[in-house]
Amino acid sequence: MAVKFLSLACIRNESRHGDLSPRPHYPSMPRYPKGLSSDQEKNMEGSEAIALFSVIGMTCSACAGSVEKAVKRLPGIIEAAVDVLNNRAQVTFYSTFVNEETIRETIEDVGFQATLIKEEMNEKATQVCRICIKGMTCTSCSTTVESALQVIPGVQKAQVALATEEAEVHYDPKIVSYNQFLQTIEDTGFEGILISTGEDRSKIQLKIDGVRTDNSMRMIENSLQALPGVQNIDLDIGLQKFSLSYKPDLTGPRNFIRVIESTGSGRYKAVIFPEGGGRDVHRQEEIKQYYRSFLWSLVFTIPVFLTSMVLMYIPGIKHGLDTKVVNMLTIGELLRWILSTPVQFIIGRRFYTGSYKALRHGSANMDVLIALGTNAAYFYSVYSVLRAASSPTFKATDFFETSSMLISFILLGKYLEVLAKGKTSEAIAKLMDLAPGTATLLTLDDEGNVINEEEIDSRLIQKNDIIKIIPGAKVASDGFVIWGQSYVNESMITGESRPVAKRKGDTVIGGTVNDNGVLHIKATRVGSESALSQIVRLVESAQMAKAPVQKFADRISKFFVPLVIFLSFSTWLAWFLSGKLNGYPKSWIPSSMDSFQLALQFGISVMVIACPCALGLATPTAVMVGTGVGASQGILIKGGQALESAHKVNCIVFDKTGTLTIGKPVVVNTRLLKNMVLRDFYELAAAAEANSEHPLAKAIVEYAKKFREDGENLVWPEARDFDSITGHGVKAVVRNKEIIVGNKSLMLDQKITIPVDAEEILAETEGLAQTGILVAMDGEVVGVLAISDPLKPSAHEVISILKSMNVESIMVTGDNWGTANSIAKEVGIDTVIAEAKPEHKAKKVKELQASGCTVAMVGDGINDSPALVAADVGMAIGAGTDIAIEAADIVLMKSNLEDVITAIDLSRKTFSRIRLNYIWALGYNLLGIPIAAGALFPSTGFRLPPWIAGAAMAASSVSVVCCSLLLKYYRRPKKLDTLEIGGITVE
């Protein structure tokens, strides 16, 4: 089974029970303004125009549906297609009745920001830039960066994910460049590292070694620019890097390397720049930095801890530490001051930097809390020891261990957090690892004989290269077989467990494994065009997309830190004033403190125990792991919105053909009503159907080939005056006979009498869950064809399991009522809508939503796209069409119905994990802050020292990430592991 969402391969449309006509790209009919004559309508066709709008603010399919509905109400609108994923709306209209500005205003009236995108033909107007952002610590940081990027002119959408520490910016390259994004991020107070500049499929980055001068770089640039097919070159002299856009049909990376290395007479060497701009390298470097900082902090903090809390109880050492240096200043206090200072200002410098940058931009983050808490403890201690040094009577009480231990625990927590966050994106790393590192490139002579073999980096494969795949090796590129035969294991991409036979002409997918024979393949899709790259890109985008529930954390983040600072100050003030005014017994104050110091410890504890990180990580980490787990099981979930909507689903609308059925109709019976040779009958019917792309038409043509002896080279008789009647069938003149092939309503429309025998055969056919097709010649019905599309083996069991999950199943099909009812009865579906056109499917979905249902639509064809967009969750069968998959929120790559259950169950488990994360994060803060403020102290004497409060804060964010990581052990429902289908256990 090939991955069909990469090429528009098979157009499925079963909106008729015998309609064999091809379907247009958009299914609904043009809507002319009312009151026009036929001549006026013809004149209008010449004014047809297409406008593309950027629509900001859409969050779900319902938003897209409301935009689409509003636009379609306008006069002169032919079609409106809204893409939620890319925030776009494409409108086809008659410019004599409506213009772009009116359409734009209509979209804005619905409540969304709309901008007309003026793009040249065949030129990509929107690019997606990905940037790694270093230094973000909580939701406040990510929100600040996101807001700064969003207001840049030319930016259509900006998303910043705290969990992945990345930004994804959709922008118009004609208006803004990625350099402005990097500058904006830097101005906001963070470091931005470019990962990719756009989804330009024909783009590569090359690193040049051996270049000593800028002139040499310019010379290389000129040499590359002269190559045919090179479109654009971006030069980074500092990194000695070239970014090239090119036409893959004319040139490729090997040509660039060859030109570069020949330009300098062998002095220059070119290599492909690390994939993703070295994203993994940056993450590993961050992990190492936190690890080193933590180890150095321990070097100083452990002696501080020992001198203040352990050695003071050993008589001999205690005497030495209590020895006076100047007045009341002791050796122990001086040692703690000296040892804690590097921890506070050198190792803890990152918190000062982060605080300054945040406050400079009017926001407050976790760094502000840490800096305030540690500074309060450190500088009070400095004041205390300086006063002791200058006074013969004042006995100092220092909190140096509080500041140094706080920083050490927080660094440990950040190290563990970064380590854990790295594991949340392991799914992408595993997907990328499927691609082989090297490939065997073949050189052929004019007669197709192999004259040379060369091992190359697989990233250097160019379009139309001939690649050799030996047994046991991974397929290096998407392509098709030109020589050899073998079996290929495609389970890692498609989920198909059995190896698929491959021979000349069959397609292969990069990253799959060749089992036995040797294959020579011709590369067709390379680099970011490949199936694997597109899957990786989809998963990456999904992990960037925010779930609506995350808005809760974003709202809290705006006032969380200022509120904590206020509570901390209030806590200190309350305890201090109570102490001064004798509001509590003196016995409550520890012997080594006074009321001010006790109040200060309570205030610091409140400040450092609060954890905005846990709230910020609650949703994105769970979404990352959930989407990664889904991808590993062949379920591509397009972000948090889809996950959140899927867990609420209580009604699923199933398309029939290709969804509940296998999708490959075959002729199972032929009944002639007139004496004629069966071969002649099928030759005329096939000639009429040969021009149709409908699955039923293909079934008739395929069956007709059995009566011909000329095999693959057969030529059907010429069909003149071919006419496709949408929703009904086809008409054509073949060998001077008028041939009509279609359903019963087509015959009645053509004033053709349907004999009683034919009526009986149709009724019998529909009772057997088959589609009846009538064939008429010269106005007389001469035969009835019975076409069957077998049910998928697991259909009945899947519907049964969904019922046990309290999910109602409905079937919507374009087939006739008789066949539809038979199929529904067989699978166990009670509610059926038959003879439904595409717009009727979408209308039914909206009716269900209006009745209070959360609706999922499962389909695979172009005709399902409106319903997929209208539904709360659109699920596209992976073997379906590009358009259906683009419209869907979830793609079931394996084309197995069982994955519908898995997708819903996974979303429920993921959302439960998000809820658990929020309960923990909120509960921790709601309980931790009062305890740190001393709520338990009056009754129990329990007091939370600041360093323990800091450790609790660090543990909080780590625990949220670890809670999300438990999703990695997700297993699909046990009912699916022992699914009984016809006596065979499917595992």
State the amino acid at position 362 in one-letter form.
G
Give dist(CA 240, CA 903) in Å, integer: 46
As to burial, measured by CB atoms within 10 angstroms (0-12 exposed, 13-18 middle, 19+ buried), residue 658 is: buried
Let me know: does 504 contact 534? Beta carbons within 8 Å. no
Q: 51 phi and psi, to 5 degrees?
A: -125, 140
Cα distance between residue 627 and residue 968, in whole Å? 10
How far apart (Å, rounded) are the C-alpha atoms in residues 628 and 490?
19
Give the pair of three-digit tokens for residue 920. 């923990």
Q: What is the pLDDT of residue 84?
A: 63
pLDDT of residue 43: 47
Q: Looking at residue 783, what is its pLDDT?
A: 92
pLDDT at 544: 66
Whole-number pLDDT of residue 32:
41
Q: How far apart are CA 445 and CA 404, in angstroms?
A: 72
Q: Quick one: how far is CA 493 from the chain centroid?
A: 16
What pLDDT was estimated at residue 838? 67
Residue that is written with structure tokens 């902090």 in the block: 297
Q: Are strands 737-742 and 729-734 parallel, antiparallel or unpaired?
A: antiparallel
pLDDT along the chain (987 residues), means of 10: 32 34 32 45 56 78 74 82 74 81 86 72 61 79 85 86 81 82 85 68 73 77 82 72 76 83 74 59 79 92 86 80 86 91 92 83 78 87 88 80 85 80 66 79 84 85 88 88 87 67 86 88 80 73 70 76 89 91 86 82 86 78 84 81 86 84 84 88 88 79 80 73 78 90 86 88 83 89 88 86 90 79 86 78 86 87 74 77 65 83 91 88 87 89 82 82 87 70 38
Nearest Cα neighbor of 163 from 636, 629, 637, 619 is: 619
> CA dihedral defined by 33, 34, 38, 41, rounded to 10 degrees?
0
Sign of CA dihedral 653, 656, 658, 660: positive
- What is the residue whose two structure tokens read 């994105």? 620
**Distance, CA of 89 to CA of 108 (rounded, Å):** 12
Rounded-to-integer distance, Cα 650 and Cα 854, Å: 6
Query: Given the DSSP bridges, would you call strands 890-892 and 873-877 parallel, antiparallel or unpaired?
Result: parallel
Within 10 angstroms of residue 663's Cβ, the number of other Cβ atoms is 23
User: Which amino acid makes up residue 176?
Assistant: V
User: Is the sign of the CA dihedral 762, 765, 771, 777 positive or negative?
Assistant: negative
Type of residue numbered 929:
I
Sign of the alpha-carbon dihedral angle for 685, 690, 693, 699: positive
Query: Residue 326's beta-bridge partner residues?
Result: 329
Instruction: Enter the tokens of residue 968.
Output: 């990695």
Query: CB neighbours of 446 closer than 8 A, spacing ≥ 6?
Result: none
CA 173 to CA 175: how far, in whole Å? 5
CA 190 – CA 141 distance, rounded (Å): 9
DSSP 260-308: HHHHTTT--EEEEPPGGGTHHHHHHHHHHHHHHHHHHHHHHHHHHHHHH
* pLDDT at position 276: 46
Q: Would you say the pTM of this structure is higher than 0.85?
A: no
DSSP string, 65-134: HHHHHHHHTSTTEEEEEEETTTTEEEEEEETTT--HHHHHHHHHHHT-EEEEE---TT----EEEEEEEE
Please enumerate in sequence order all residues whose Cβ is within 8 A of that of 447, keeping only pairs 6 or more positions apart, or say none.
none
- Adjacency order of strands within the sheet including 500-502: 500-502, 486-489, 513-514
Check residue 340 and give its pLDDT.
93
Catalytic-role residue among 465, 655, 789, 889: 655
What is the rounded CA–CA span in Å between residue 878 and residue 302?
A: 57
In the block, residue with structure tokens 């002579």: 445
Please name which of 9, 18, 157 lies closest in space to residue 726, comparing C-alpha atoms. Answer: 18
655 is catalytic: yes
Q: How far apart are CA 539 and CA 543, in angstroms?
A: 6
Buried b / exposed e along 305-317 (16+ C-beta atoms within 10 A): bbbbeebeeeeee
Residues 845 and 866: their CA atoms lie apart, in Å, by: 10
Show Cβ contacts of residue 858 under 8 Å, excluding neighbours closer than 6 positions.
652, 653, 654, 655, 659, 875, 876, 877, 892, 897, 900
What is the model's pLDDT at position 883? Answer: 52
Please, which residues bridge with residue 833 across strands?
812
Residue listed under structure tokens 């067709």: 524
**Which among 84, 90, 82, 79 has a CA at the least distance from the CA of 57?**
84
pLDDT reported for residue 634: 80
Token couple for 787: 């076409």
Residue ranges of the alpha helices (H) in 851-982?
A: 865-870, 882-887, 898-932, 937-940, 946-965, 974-977
Backbone torsions φ then ψ of 501, nearest 5 degrees: -65, 135
Per-residue pLDDT tens over the stretch 347-366? 999 888 888 877 877 777 77
Place of tokens 């869907």: 888
- Say which DSSP state 411 is in: H
Write down the pLDDT at residue 726.
65
Q: For Cα atoms 831, 835, 836, give the angle at the middle one, nearest 5 degrees.
A: 80
**Cβ-based neighbours of 10, under 8 Å, separated by 6 or more:** 4, 695, 879, 880, 881
Q: Name 342's Cβ contacts closer than 8 Å, sequence gap at least 6.
A: 300
In whole angstroms, what is the distance from residue 935 CA to residue 933 CA? 6
